[in-house]
Structure 1
Amino acid sequence: MQQAVPTRDEIEQLVAVTDRMRAGIEHVVTGRTELVRTTLAVLLAEGHLLLEDVPGVGKTTLAKALARTIDCSVGRVQFTPDLLPSDLTGVNIYRAQTNEFEFRPGPVFAHVVIGDEINRASPKTQSALLECMQEAQATIDGRTYRLPRPFLVVATQNPVEMEGTYPLPEAQRDRFMARLTVGYPSVESELDMLDLQETADPLAELRAVTDAAQVGAMIDVTRRLFASPAVKRYVVDLVGATRAESGLRLGASPRAAIQLLRAAKGLAALDGRDHVLPDDVQKLAPAVLAHRLLPSTESRLSGRSTESIVADLVAAVPVPATAGAVRERRAFG
């Protein structure tokens, strides 16, 4: 049964909270407005985020800033080649005094898990996150433990051509709702950063503006946003186009369609709307789809990236003609 579309008050409260979160994060990560907006959209969509770029551009800082704005538990993992799966999920320890095993939870048992340089760990350790990210649970020694809600993994990785890195398995990449590239800041933003950090650490001054319970409520509100049949068909057509694209040897999965629609709802919520527009889908398509695709040999040899392929498909797939009517019907007031 379709749940009721959020009320004006629910949307306004969500926007007020996320605006405060955005302002706090942008005070730390200057000049990255769209990056921060997409990060918050993934949070509202209850997804996981992969930040990829060279060292030193602020990937971990962004993850920490997001965690600092929420009064919740935070797990921090520094991925290294010798990290074991049990170092993430936890381990059972035998207590001789009680003649019983005691479970000691790992860092994944937190609302926000920051995984730094995830592709420096072995594929076996990387894959330990699969069950956690998809099902919000961890199975240790045959017993299943539920993870807290909300549960968000923000992982950073260096480009795979850097020394000491392992490429993420396809199944692992597919669990991340979006992959974002941080990039270098503009000259003005970098100057602002130098001024801010000359005498103090803005991250240390950042204070929580919400808590885990309220974030969970905002996620529920976002899930209830209206997506018309035309917009849903547009999502399916866009994802389906990746499977027919000759420049790809692996297209996007049905999971990609689900996550693209959820992410689009997150972006719509940030804009204070109770409905999804094709524009929301188009803006997030590269971030949500590109990392799930495998280019053909011809594409790799010609230097054609999966991001450019998705951009071409967004330009080619027809936009629903009913988009204007959808906006008019679902608008407040």
Structure 2
Amino acid sequence: MKKSATYYVFSGANTPLSEFTSPIPTLKDGEILVNILYTTLCGSDLHTFCGLRNEPCPTILGHEIVGIIAQISPTHSGQDALGKQLHVGDLITWTVFSSDPNTTDYQPEIPQKNGNLYKYGHRQITEQDNFHGGLATHIILRPNTCIRILPKDISLAVAATINCAVATSAGALRLAGTIAGKNVHVAGIGLLGLVTIAMCKELGAKNIIASDVNPARLEMAKHFGASHTIDLRERENCALLEATTIDRFIDMSGSPDAMELGIETLGLHGRAMLVGAVFHQRPTKIDAEQVIRKMLTIKGLHNYNYTDFSFAVDFIINNWQKYPFESLIEREFPLDEVNAAIDYALTHKPIRAGLYMDSSTAKR
């Protein structure tokens, strides 16, 4: 087994990441060492790099990760979330967090909101705590991390997105309730929006309306199951929403304008799931009278729970080739070109940029 690892350290906004090499520490109780094969740059990584959100520094960014098991602590249960035996060499994905169920404020339905949460790609490097981000050759999974074994032939680029965007989309649909036979409006056609559209398609939605201000993104939505698209740059383009009984509104954009329109155009007993507003912006205005008269339900979601994670894994295993998910990782870079990858992502704004550890792990 390799005795040292390379990782790239983020020390401050708009500052290039620095390369470090460090010995791999001895595993503690319940830990698993993973060789990272592929990491994608999430929007939150880019927001942190630009200073739009704060993370304790220095840190190792990156949380959309997939890799193979290199070593398992003898005190680990040795099983994944489905009870399957874990082995060295298994390809795995895992929750973006480790959540200790023995914490006093632990709630099983929202483990991602535990007070004693360990979140990968979002922690400060210390002498006792490192190897916890995706922009690296290795990561150590802590106890109480939910793990799933993946098929060996799955696209690594697609698999890397499961434990963030795909699982969060699954959580939004759990909150939405019944999708079959419903008219669904999805606002914000990034990776979250596209995954949500494909999930709604598989769950039997009657109509799926995609809205955005980017025509290219709206064109993408059609390939993931959208029956209608709306360019939000012009209000008259929104006539379809006003002429259709919208049962479910899912916002992945975070735009107050989009959220206001989505809630306004919901029908009787409609449900709104707000997911995208994870950055500072103007307050969103809601007409309380209409919420009351239409008997609307409005819910927020941040991250996801274990049920959502397993739904996401199964969805990608079953559908990653049915929809053009691989095309969403628009450009790949070797890990040692991570700063070029960040620059590309900020300049060109792809759905995702990917980072592979060596040429054998680039898109197949």
Give the TM-score normalised by the residue count of structure 1. 0.24
Q: TM-score, normalised by structure 2?
A: 0.23
